[in-house]
Amino acid sequence: MRANCWMGRNHVEVRDVPDPRILNSRDAIVRITSTAICGSDLHLYDGYIPTMKKGDVLGHEFMGEVVETGPDVTGLRAGDRVVVPFPIACGACDACEHGLYSVCENSNPNAGMAEKVMGYSPAGIFGYSHMLGGFAGGQAEYARVPFADVGPIKIEDDLPDEQVLFLSDIFPTGWMGAEMCDITPGDVIAVWGAGPVGQFAIASAFLMGAERVIAIDRIPYRLDKAERAGAEVLDYERTDVLDALRDMTAGRGPDACIDAVGIEAHHPAPLMYGYDRAKQATRTETDRPFALREAIMACRNGGVVSVVGVYGGFVDKFPMGSLMNRSITLRGAQCHVQRYLRPLLERIRAGDIDPGFVISHRMPLEDAPHGYEIFRQKEDDCLKVVLTP
């Protein structure tokens, strides 16, 4: 089959690779009809996530048609149309029984690698390094889906792929980012990052009853998209964000702050940006936490900072004193997608939201390298790329 493969830093190729096959009695094989490039794929592309190997198949946002199932898969059969969540979860461990699917205790065969960096291992993830399982991803014509009776959700109506594809990751991730803010009517929510996850966090915050949402970014077309969704916007290259947020909230700060940026945050001050880039280059820091630092400093006393932007390791100059002394609650997670699939699908069916609003580019799988480059460089107003095998 054809698949988009990681070939080294800033280098992907669509190549011929072996077809997937059933390896476990709970596996399914899915013929992929739509897949997407995620912002967190760029962390792999840019070389910030360790334990990638040349030839690894990328992609963790995909959907398609079941073509084969193992003998112990009872909930799916050939011909079913499914969306596949990016975390792989067994459904039976303590974490899964508590709805914490992205920290499933049984789905990462390389848990020992993750434990060296994180203490304990999270779940396996499609197309996202050997530290997180080494599973082939979904930017391909077919994919093997482990624990197929737990993860995929059947789409049993005529909703088009583009309306349901993002149930695989970015819609539930943005929703969970807002949910972790404990939003009540009248709240002001600030969102760092107006990329696809940030856009869904903005939409979700409004759906949950936030009175105001403030989006912070520097890319004009992303800020325009957020503004059209009802958010107030701040360009951090033109505005002192902390001062602006104080002014916009009568001096108290947002009730909750969402970091939808993560590991590769940018900073307008050359000295600050250069400091963290140098720390990354010398491997004395793995992540650039500009957005996270600022979210903590901006949040009101007693507020919540919700982290759904991806981090991979360690950060420097973390404002622990602000967090502790001002009674701020910090929450973060890879999204427990399986928990949200059914309720968010019902919201799509009800017309509360059409997740396809983030799509800016559509192209065949063969053009994936071009898709990665325009997404990374933010060319041609690229917000989200959908690939068709």
Confidence of residue 281 (pLDDT cuts 50, 70, 90): confident
Give the C-alpha separation, 237 to 239, whole Å. Answer: 6
Distances in Å between the Cα of 125 and the Cα atoms of 102, 216, 334, 361, 368 are 8, 29, 10, 25, 20
228 pLDDT more than 80 = yes
Domain shared by 122 and 202, yes or no: no
Domain shared by 57 and 190, yes or no: no
The answer to the question of residue 347 being in a domain is no
The answer to the question of residue 340 being in a domain is no
Per-residue DSSP letter, 19: P
Domain span holding position 62: 2-168+355-388
The answer to the question of residue 339 being in a domain is no
Q: Do 328 and 305 touch, CB atoms closer than 8 A?
A: yes
Q: What's the confidence (pLDDT) of residue 178?
A: 98
Domain shared by 33 and 129, yes or no: yes
Q: What's the confidence (pLDDT) of residue 266?
A: 87
Domain shared by 194 and 48, yes or no: no
Domain shared by 322 and 247, yes or no: yes
Domain shared by 288 and 261, yes or no: yes
Kindly give the pairing relationship between strand 87-88 and strand 124-125.
antiparallel
Domain shared by 53 and 66, yes or no: yes
The answer to the question of residue 338 being in a domain is no
The answer to the question of residue 344 being in a domain is no
Q: What is the tens place of the pLDDT at every residue in 85-121?
A: 999 999 999 999 999 999 999 999 999 999 999 999 9
Domain shared by 123 and 230, yes or no: no
269 pLDDT more than 90 = no
For residue 316, what is the domain's CATH number?
3.40.50.720
The answer to the question of residue 112 being in a domain is yes
The answer to the question of residue 205 being in a domain is yes
For residue 94, what is the domain's CATH number?
3.90.180.10
Treating both helix axes as pointing N-terminal to C-terminal, what angle do 170-179 and 196-207 enclose, rounded to 10 degrees? 50
Percent of the chain with pLDDT over 90: 89
Q: What's the confidence (pLDDT) of residue 378?
A: 96
Domain shared by 190 and 208, yes or no: yes
Q: How many domains does the chain have?
A: 2
Distances in Å between the Cα of 218 and the Cα atoms of 132, 224, 290, 292, 384 are 31, 11, 13, 16, 17
Q: What's the confidence (pLDDT) of residue 284?
A: 77
Domain shared by 205 and 233, yes or no: yes
16 pLDDT more than 80 = yes
Q: What is the tens place of the pLDDT at every residue in 177-216?
A: 999 999 999 999 999 999 999 999 999 999 999 999 999 9
Chain-centroid distance, C-alpha 193? 12
Domain shared by 224 and 303, yes or no: yes
Q: What is the tens place of the pLDDT at every residue in 20-47?
A: 999 999 999 999 999 999 999 999 999 8
Q: What's the confidence (pLDDT) of residue 129?
A: 96
356 pLDDT more than 90 = yes
3-state DSSP call for residue 59?
coil
The answer to the question of residue 66 being in a domain is yes
Per-residue DSSP letters for 155-179? Answer: --S---HHHHGGGGTHHHHHHHHHH
Domain shared by 43 and 151, yes or no: yes
296 pLDDT more than 80 = yes
